[in-house]
Amino acid sequence: MVLSTIDRSGLSISILLSGLALSSGLLIPAMQPFQHVNFRSSASSTRGSPCGARMCGIIAIFDPNLGASELEELTRSLSTLLSHRGPDEVGYVGGPGYGLGHTRLSIMDPAAGRQPLTSDETGSSVIHNGEIYNFRDLRAEVHEARHATGAGDFAFKTGSDSEVCLPLFDSLGNDVASKLDGMFAVVLASEDGKRMLACRDPVGIKPLYRGWSADGRTMFASELKCLVGQVEHVEEFPPGHYWTPETGYVRFYSPEWMTPLLAEEATEEVPLELPMGDASRVRSILRSAVQKRLMSDVEYGLLLSGGLDSAIVCKLMAELTDMSKIKSFTVGMRNSPDIMAARAVAEVFGTDHHEHLFTAEEAFSILPQVIYHLETYEPELIRSSIPNFFLARLAGEHVKVVLTGEGADELFAGYLYFRDCPDRPSMQRETLRIFDHLHNVNLQRSDRMGMAHGIEARVPFLDVDMLAEAYGKLDPTIKMHVDGKMEKHALRALFDDGDIPQDVVWRTKAMQCEGVGTDWVSILQGKCEEVISDEEIARAAVDFPLNTPQSKEELYYRKLFEEHFSGMDKFVHVWEGGCRAGGAPWENNAYTRAGLKNTQQLVHGLMEDEAATP
């Protein structure tokens, strides 16, 4: 196997956005050079899509106090802050008291994906970030409904999935949100501005914020940075809801399984393995979810972490497509578990595999960029986002769409602290608790690090049918760690059929900041301590009375956050106890604020094969 090392000069976002950065008081960190390893050279190819690709950002301003020219100027100006989500063009449409802006990264067929889209019939307009997987079925429903009433065909102008929102909004009003299957943040407005609706997908895969002021201004944006200094109040738009001025927030996604507890006690003996019917159903649903996310003609890839979840996605992709055309991507430190495990999976399934090996020093150097794009000071999230930043940067050189294994740990209790879960009710409560925070933890990391480099991440484990199965049909007892069984035992057993390497199927769960290497976090924390003085940490409670930093590492992150988002600290989600496991209803013996207590449990046989790593 021949390996080649490639150097690339970084692109300075501060140059691209310098005009707005100065006017908004945002200092945007510059990208840094990096190296990566390419396992197999191959000519890149791009296949045209009738829908185009929607790696994009959206912003909407509803303000009765601004005129048309003022609305357009402000909307276009703030749209520039989202240019990393779509640097190729900025679209705008406005009406009485409102302006809709959209930034887009065009790959193929620019006309098809250009937004905002406006209905020729009614003048209603839409801006949309994400993918609506059932848009063809919805178009057919629109066709049938209109013919039944004698209205005739709706004049679709593009093949875009976004456009189907227009006839649905005009005919169904607020019910449009419940019809959409996908990952989406959508804002719709009637031509006269008297009707508007915003909605976000059930899980919160795509980001959306809402801001408002007492003078009547309401804003929506893909990222928090667009709202800095523009409104008095900001909140993250809750997943599975729509919002109108008349109704406020209304939950449109409310399955029965979202109740916090099934039953206090099992009424009968529950098997500790997946029953055959359940196993077949889980595999079928997950395979369909992967297939749904491959419905794109643009070239896509796979973020291959080296863990079980992305390996399962890889296996299912292999059943559905030619893997020799699939590029996979992994990051880690030299000889790290993720690097070795991902390499084994890539070899088995024949992907065009790419790696980036990073150092703790490199990780420290990109912290300003990570925090600017991530829009948080939460330490656990920042640590885990550093490998994601490198991963997205690597993938962004090759593809624009990637599949990931995000969400499986929430559905199947995959984190190490679940080993201490005492009973069935606690298991159900805790898996639902961390699922409820996916949108401002894992999915925030996945979206922001991906969009920082122009790639869209798709998450088959979080398909709504998979959610219904994992939370509504599988008994929580199946997820328990009893009789020495390891985390996600049922899921491991389901896919232990000889395809995925055994060392990967039964590899100990590692969070992303752990699996890429076991010592880089402590080195990173040491470097943070070098730049924060004892005097600074002593007065941290005075400088930051809300969510006061408890270490020099946390204080350094907070100071970087304040450089870009002064006054926005109250809008940041912080884990209770300083880590994901801190809010569990049992004593946590796995994690502290500083990370995993015992990294030695992550040592794996694959790490010993040093000779295989360049």
Question: Going by C-beta distance under 8 Å and a sequence separation of 6 or more, which residues neighbour residue 611?
Answer: none
Distance of CA 422 to the CA centre of its chain: 31
* Residue 62 and residue 196 share a domain: yes
Does a structural domain hold residue 50?
A: no
Do residues 533 and 422 both lie within one domain?
yes
Specify the range with the lowest mean pLDDT, choosing from 37-46, 217-226, 238-247, 319-328.
37-46
Q: Which of 286, 593, 240 is nearest to 438 (CA)?
A: 240
b/e map of 513-537 (b: 16 or more CB within 10 Å)? Answer: bbbbbbebbebbbebbbeebeeeeb
* Burial environment of residue 244 by CB neighbours within 10 A (0 to 12, 13 to 18, 19 or more): middle
Please indicate, yes or no, whether residues 503 and 600 belong to a single structural domain of this protein. Answer: yes
Instruction: Reply yes or no on whether the pLDDT at 599 is more than 60.
Output: no
If we measure between CA atoms, which residue out of 273, 328, 278 comes closest to residue 39? 328
pLDDT digit string, tens, across residues 494-518: 999 999 999 999 988 765 555 565 6
pLDDT in tens, 516-547: 656 888 899 999 999 999 999 999 999 999 99
Establish whether 543 is an annotated binding residue.
no
31 & 64 share domain:
no
Which of 223, 254, 285 corresponds to the end of one domain? 254
Q: Could you tell me if residue 604 is inside a domain?
A: yes
- Whether omega before 116 lies within 30 degrees of 0, making that bond cis, reads yes
Q: Do 311 and 163 lie in a common domain?
A: no
Share of residues in the chain with pLDDT > 90 (%): 65
Q: Are residues 294 and 353 both part of a single domain?
A: yes
Sorting pLDDT into bands at 50, 70 and 90, what band is 262? very low
Give Cα 109 distance to the centre of its chain. Answer: 25
Cα separation of 188 and 170, whole Å? 10
Q: What is the SS3 assignment for 118?
A: strand
Q: Is residue 377 part of a domain?
A: yes
Whether residue 159 is found in the same domain as residue 290: no
Binding site annotation covers 331?
A: yes
Q: Do 303 and 239 have their domain in common? A: no
pLDDT in tens, 96-130: 999 999 998 654 445 566 899 999 999 999 999 99
Residue 589 placed within a domain:
yes
Token readout for 34 is 């990096």
Flag whether 597 is in a domain.
yes
Whether residues 24 and 155 fall in one domain: no
Flag whether 161 is marked binding: yes
Are both 246 and 384 inside the same structural domain?
no
Record the tokens describing residue 201, joined without a space: 């997908």
When pLDDT is cut at 50, 70 and 90, the band that residue 485 belongs to is confident
* Residue 501 and residue 364 share a domain: yes
Determine the pLDDT at residue 374: 97
> Containing H/E element for 251?
strand 248-251
Q: What is the pLDDT of residues 372-394, one digit of tens each?
A: 999 999 998 999 999 999 999 99
Same domain, residue pair 347 and 474: yes
How many other CB atoms are found less than 10 A from the CB of residue 542? 8
Catalytic residue chosen out of the listed positions 56, 199, 421, 513: 56
Domain CATH for 525: 3.40.50.620
Number of domains the chain contains: 3
Could you tell me which residue, 394 or 51, shows the higher pLDDT?
Answer: 394
Tell me the two tokens of residue 601.
């449990």
DSSP-based three-state secondary structure for 434: helix
| Residue 61 located in a structural domain | yes
Out of 36-40, 291-295, 385-389, least confident range: 36-40
Task: Find all residues with CB under 8 Å of 507, minimum gap 6, and list them.
Answer: 306, 307, 308, 337, 341, 604, 606
Q: Respond yes or no: is residue 421 known to be catalytic.
A: no
Position 328 confidence tier, pLDDT thresholds 50, 70, 90? very high
Does 513 fall in a domain?
A: yes
- Residue 503's domain comprises 265-612
In a domain, 45, yes or no: no
